[in-house]
Chains A and B, each alone.
Chain A
């Protein structure tokens, strides 16, 4: 722990602090959003290591998930749009 003296720091405790937010998602999908277009790419069962977690949000099913002007497109289409947007720069990787 950071407030303790250096002699109190153990690898196991510091490792544990990275492990505690691990999450397992069943039927996971990745939502790729480019401008007004989006696509949910199915991933299946995902184990997420805690250090990669930023936020876990609970969706209110009564509310609209996305603004009305956003359109759902196919995975192929979103890939094409991503490529044209990022052209020569690094295209973000999507998993499908």
Chain B
């Protein structure tokens, strides 16, 4: 639940999602659900020449299970809060 809440806080921010098939997509985080499925708006593929079929895709849904990394904006990360939250969750509370 922690990362679900965490990503919900990031809605509206610009993120880059790298998939397990190496495709990396930048866009505005529109929404996220309990499986960490992600919806991006105004997307742009990082390596456009390699993936020409993604040229006209502007909004997309990404299945949570295929995500390798989500690259966050520097101002979107509060390490102290994340530390506290992970400790709390590890304690089971």
**Interface on A for B, CB 8 Å cutoff?**
3, 17, 20-21, 31, 33, 50-51, 53-61, 63-67, 70
Q: Is chain B's binding surface mostly helix, strand, loop or mixed?
A: mixed
A21 with B63: CB separation less than 8 A: yes
Question: CA–CA, A79 to B82, complex, Å?
Answer: 51
* CB contact between A58 and one of B1, B23, B60, B66 (< 8 Å): that residue: B60
Cross-chain contact B19 with A60 (CB below 8 angstroms): no
Among B41-61, those with CB < 8 Å from A are 43, 52-61
Chain A's interface: helix, strand, loop or mixed, by majority?
loop
With contacts A57-B59, A58-B57, A65-B55 known, is A20 near B65, CB below 8 A?
no
Docked Cα-Cα span, A66 to B49, in Å, equals 10
Chain B residues engaging chain A, CB cutoff 8 angstroms: 1-2, 19, 21, 23, 25, 35, 37, 43, 52-63, 65-66, 89
B73 CB, nearest partner CB in chain A, Å: 22
Residue of chain A at shortest CB distance from B65? A51
Given A3-B1, A55-B62, A55-B66, A65–B19 Cβ distance below 8 Å?
Answer: no
